[in-house]
Amino acid sequence: MTGPTTTRGRLLLATGLTTAAALFLAFVPLHRDWFDLGVYYGAVGQWLRDGHIYDFTTPGADGADYGFTYPPFAALCMLPMTLLSWPAAVSVSMLLNVAASAVILTWLIGPVVRRQGWNMWFAFTVAGALFSLLEPVRDTFSFGQVNLLLLVLVLLDARLLATGNGRFAGFGTGLAAAIKLTPAIFIVYLVVTRRWRATAVATATAIGATLLAAGAAPGASRVYWTEALWDTDRIGVLSYVSNQSWEGVLARLVAPVEPSGAIWAAGVVALLAVWAYRVRQAAAVGDEPAGYALTGIAACLVSPITWVHHLVWLIPALIVLAESGMRPNTPPQRRRTLLRVAAVVYVILCSSLVWLWRFDATGVTGFLGSNAYVWICLGLLLALPLREAAPGTAPAPAPAPRSASTGRPATG
């Protein structure tokens, strides 16, 4: 890490960067006023009052009505909110996201810091300030969202597998999938990479949590799995610029007409085929972090709705990209290129760039700019660097190919 080499210099830089980040966040544009937390809070409260959680709606900034879109198990997990006042619920949400951020940085940045021999407190202070400026992170905090917590659950399994403790892996992924459907693609990742025990644990956990919710709330479970899950109108307008998925690209191209389901499905199949191929490449060289990073990218692309705050699933890929430019066995020119690309990706993900086309995404400029985060996802899916196999080391056998598909239900 280039930077100050003295304690005084590190302290000044860390303090300056932290102060600048705090000032920016204090006046951040497009603060979301804990909108999603308000949906959770209101929906769970109504559920206790009259037993109808999926009837709750509240109007959003895009003119659509938003309701509770997660499985009933998520509602069970959120029941303790009903014991809190609204200010207390906001405070708890902020504290949980701060804790999740600390865990994510420790797990993702810690190994890089140790390998590079950097000063620990300085590296984590700088990383924390930079992390807080990412738009998906800012939005997760200001919406009162749960994405960082779900990322922690999935990364727990990634950490267990990468450190040789795979016999305990799968529980976090299964729990995350029971709370929200998007992380279910990580169960498919376990299948593709032949982690049969972890697959069984994740699947059993997801099914068990879902059955628990069905037993505790049969009416809500019936409504969710037969009605609410399939109603994409419940979670907003597909063409809204915040929807940075493959479906969002199609929707903005043909708005106000509904995008073709056949074209969307064909694109999803193609994206998943590329993802499966690249995941097998990562498994062949034993690059678990890259495998999980690629899966997070694919989740963002194939989900019908990927709001900007869902893009926290790109954070592992951003770390893999930056760390690839620091590996000693990487040629100097390629190292410089990778670091520059990582810096550009980081800046764009901090920029709120797509919102310049919030009201008009027409034309070539609108097509390119309004889908900027989708292009980043595609670029990372195709070209995320993988760890080189050590000289004289035979690569691990590649797992057998597996076709993957996804349905069209909204994921919230």
> Is residue 292 a contact partner of residue 155, using CB atoms and an 8 Å limit?
yes
Q: Look at residue 298 and tell me whether its pLDDT is greater than 80.
A: yes
Least confident of 217-231, 239-253, 386-400: 386-400
CA separation, residue 115 to residues 48, 111, 112, 165, 289 (Å): 51, 6, 5, 21, 15
Of 275 and 164, the structure prediction assigns the larger pLDDT to 275
Helices (H), 70-217: 72-78, 86-116, 120-133, 135-143, 147-162, 171-179, 185-192, 196-216
Q: Look at residue 389 and tell me whether its pLDDT is greater than 90.
A: no
Least confident of 62-71, 239-248, 278-287, 325-334: 62-71
pLDDT in tens, 142-173: 999 999 999 999 999 999 998 878 788 999 99
Amino acid identity of residue 157, one-letter, is: D
Q: Tokens for 385, please give them.
A: 């660097």
Residue 344's pLDDT band (cuts 50, 70, 90):
very high
Mean pLDDT on 400-406: 38
Q: Which residues contact 310 (CB under 8 A, 6 or more apart)?
A: 136, 147, 182, 244, 300, 303
pLDDT in tens, 8-19: 888 888 888 889
Q: Tokens for 130, please give them.
A: 């930079």
Residue 328's pLDDT band (cuts 50, 70, 90):
confident
What's the mean per-residue pLDDT of the chain?
A: 89
Name the percent of the chain lying above pLDDT 70.
Answer: 91
Q: Look at residue 404 and tell me whether its pLDDT is greater than 90.
A: no
Write phi, then psi, for 28 (nearest 5 degrees): -60, 135
| pLDDT computed for residue 24 by the predictor | 84
Q: Look at residue 410 and tell me whether its pLDDT is greater than 50.
A: no
CB count, 10 Å around CB of 20?
12
Q: Look at residue 42 and tell me whether its pLDDT is greater than 50.
A: yes
| pLDDT computed for residue 409 by the predictor | 38
| pLDDT computed for residue 27 by the predictor | 80
| pLDDT computed for residue 2 by the predictor | 57
Q: Look at residue 408 and tell me whether its pLDDT is greater than 50.
A: no
> Is residue 220 a contact partner of residue 54, using CB atoms and an 8 Å limit?
yes
| pLDDT computed for residue 81 by the predictor | 93
